[in-house]
Structure 1
Amino acid sequence: MLPNFLVIGSSRSGTTSLYHHLGQHPQAYVTPVIEPRFFAFEDSALDFSGPGDQLLRHRVVTRWDDYVDLFTAARGQRAVGEVSPAYLCSAETARRIHRRVPAARILAILRNPVERAISSFCLERLDGFEPEHSLRAAIGKEEARREANWSYVWRYHHRGRYHQHLRRYFDLFPKEQIGVWLYEDWEPDGGQTLLNAVFAFLGLDPDLGATDEVVRLNTTGADRFRTCRLERSEPSEEDLAWLTELYRDDIARLEELLCRDLSHWRRFGGS
């Protein structure tokens, strides 16, 4: 059994909640561990040198046979897949997925790239891995970190260039195989509408999907983010404007690709 759907991102956008809800649906099967990240690191040595990057060695599947083993417990469910947000920003991932499972459906939830960058930076600061005290300083070192073989985790700006990343998927897969939603789609009715849309996209009966854990699963991350906000300086309005400007062209192209208005993303983190 091979996956017929993959949730490719983005990070800090509710993909963990989606993983749990898909796992609760009787017509779906997801891997027993979230984020195997096989297609991002196929046959990779995982020799990254950034702070905490060694943890990837214990969390990532790099061998095809081991990846296939993750799906051996599937028992004829309509939707069989996994959730790995690293797939969105990895340059080689779309090609690898297309080579192995070209009929797979591709799902993404996108968060305002400014908010996502702040949230990712906040998480690394809270975990004690990010040495810089400001997001702007960390982004300023992004290229040097890449050259020093720090992992994708540290590319706060690059990971939010959604049009650049999604374009690779639209170039390889029929557009009807790709479903894209926004993080703010979680907000109305506790995420019910978003989940129903995802279930329908995967051919699942929405009436069989449990949604009672949506708020709790998202609240955990929100509480952690609030805690981090208390422990660091908030980005200045100048820094927010600077970061928003970095994404302006990519957001405009993404609007055209998705045929969706994203003007609220161009207002300092979407406020």
Structure 2
Amino acid sequence: MAPDFIIIGAMKCGTTSLHRYLDRHPQIGMSRSKETDFFLAKQNFARGLDWYRAQFGNDAEIYGETSPNYTKATEFPGVAERIFRTLPDAKLIYIVRDPVNRFLSQYFHHTITGEAVIKPNQLLHSDAGRNYLECSRYHRQLSRYLEFYPLEGIFVACFDELRSAPESLLRRLFLFLGVDSDVVIEGLGQIHNQRSELQELPPWYFHARRSPVLRSITRRLSPALQSTLRRQLRHWPQRRLPMVDEGIRAELKSLLQEDTMKFRELTGMPFNGWSL
């Protein structure tokens, strides 16, 4: 079973919550693992289509997956073309938020997990910072897909609406996907706050999680046991996040202004709550 639609990003824009909401619709089946990362050449693409199809069930009318890495074109080139060659009729969903806030959220996330140890005053001059910027350049990221897919086949959603008016957003999204738009989804408004959860875990947890041997072991644990393990670790003091001053925020706005303007023009969406 291959998916009918893909949530292609963006990272730190509510993709986990959206994935869970869609999975509660009786006509929709989401991938068993939220992020298959199948279309990343250096990740799972070599596993082949049989592996990909096995990530989905067989008891729904349509299927979808969520992999925010699909809109990190600088880090992972060729994804849009790979998806099109495999799923030319797929519908795409791209959820976004204020580009500056998205950038900082990714920075904080990687600081917590130890994937990036960068002082704020060095952030914009680092390789990681440049990659964060690219993820917040929504027009540039979406343009890669428009080389293959028509704009009307891509649903652009805003994180602010997912948080403030999820019923309205989901109704339009269900219509886009061709499923019953009157279905009521339970638990709306419970935005998944991964940052708070991660801050409660000790630093060595993330180093262990990146170990291939330990990762292989933990993947064999049931989801319930993995959840219990994380809860047991949360007596550790939360780690403090780095302070980002207004000067850095102003520079981010300047660097992202042009792309954001093009994105508004492309989508026809005002994104009124954004800072730029």
**TM-score > 0.5 by shorter chain:** yes
Structure 1 residue 62: deviation in Å? 4.2
Matched, 1:180 2:144: no
User: 2:132 is paired with a residue of what secondary structure?
Assistant: coil
> Measured at CA, do residues 193 and 230 of structure 1 come closer, stay the same or move farther in structure 2, by a change above 3 Å?
farther
Name 2:194's counterpart in structure 1: 221
Which runs of structure 2 are paired with 1:19-30 in the superposition (5 Å)?
19-30=19-30
Q: Which residue identity does 1:260 align to in structure 2? A: M
Superposition TM-score, scaled by structure 1 size: 0.79
The one-character-per-residue Cα deviations of 1:145-180 (angstroms, maximum 9, x if unpaired) are 6xxxxxxx9821111111011011122112221110
TM-superposed deviation, 1:102: 0.5
Answer yes or no: is 1:68 the counterpart of 2:77: no
The Cα shift of 1:198 comes to 1.5
The residue correspondences of 1:79-94 to structure 2 (distance < 5 A) are: 79-90=62-73, 91-94=77-80
Letter in 1 for 2:63: V
2:258 maps to which residue? 249
Q: Pick from 173, 180, 190: which aligns with 1:205?
A: 180
User: How far, CA to CA, are the matches of 1:210 and 1:94 in structure 2?
Assistant: 30
The answer to whether the Cα contact below 8 Å between 1:6 and 1:104 also exists between their aligned partners in 2 is yes
Count of residues in Structure 1 that have an aligned counterpart in Structure 2: 236
Secondary structure of the equivalent of 2:270?
A: coil
Q: Could you tell me the TM-score, scaled by structure 2's length? A: 0.77
Residue number in structure 1 paired with 2:101? 115
Q: Percent of aligned positions with the same letter in both sequences?
A: 28
Work out whether residues 163 and 191 of structure 2, in 8 Å CA contact, stay in contact via their aligned partners in 1: no
- Which residue does the alignment assign to 2:204? none
- How has the CA–CA distance of structure 1 residues 2 and 233 changed in structure 2, closer, same or farther, with 3 Å as cutoff? closer
Aligned to 1:171: 147
Work out whether residues 10 and 108 of structure 1, in 8 Å CA contact, stay in contact via their aligned partners in 2: yes
Q: Is the 8 A contact 1:29 1:81 kept in 2?
A: yes
Matching residue's letter, 1:244: K
Q: CA deviation at 1:188?
A: 2.5
* Equivalent residue in structure 2 for 1:238, among 247, 255, 268: 247
Change (3 A) 1:10 1:229: farther
> What is the identity, as a one-letter code, of the residue corresponding to 1:176?
E
The runs of at least 4 aligned residues of structure 1 exceeding 2 Å deviation read: 206-209, 214-218, 220-230, 262-267
Give the aligned residue type for 2:125: G
Q: Structure 1: where are the runs of 5+ without partners?
A: 47-59, 146-152
Note the alpha carbon deviations across 1:19-60, whole angstroms, 9 max, x for none: 111111110011100101111x23x2x5xxxxxxxxxxxxx5
Query: 1:123-144, CA deviations, whole angstroms, 9 ceiling, x for partnerless residues?
Result: 111123321122x5133111xx
CA distance in 1, matches of 2:199, 2:270: 28
